[in-house]
Amino acid sequence: MDEIKALNEFCAQSMIGLLGITFTAATSSSIQATMPVSNKTSQPNGFLHGGASLALAETLAGAGSYILVDREKFNVFGMQISGNHVSTVTKGVLTANARLIHQGKTTHIWDVKITADNNKLISTVRVTNMVVEKKKEENE
């Protein structure tokens, strides 16, 4: 099955699906997704919620690391996230592009750029993921 289709199906019934995040492309060192600006991703005043942007970025980086590891042996968890929100929007679809900048045995670091429909920069985010060996009971 296509990796992007499998990711979208795997995530559909989680918070990722609730926010409307859809993976659109992936390579071994980058991954892309979209997220609509809606009442589910906005503050009560209608502006995009910064937490939704961070959720998009962490989702993208996590999925990128998930693709890279042996899923039979390892789990991936977000370890640290740091974002700068430079603009906001009230409608449209966001596009997030994540680029792998470090792939170690136990950590992966991703740079994520989130833009609006008009290519306007909304947020830049750095995500560090921890790669953890599954416990024996998780494999049984």
Report d(CA 52, CA 103) in Å as an integer: 26
Among residues 9, 58, 133, 138, the one annotated as catalytic is 58
Angle of CA points 123, 128, 129, to nearest 5°: 125
- The backbone region for 67, taken as left when phi is positive above 0, alpha when psi lies in -120 to 50, beta otherwise, is alpha
133 is catalytic: no
The set of residues, in sequence order, having a beta carbon less than 8 Å from that of 120 and lying 6+ positions away, is 87, 89
Residues labelled catalytic: 58
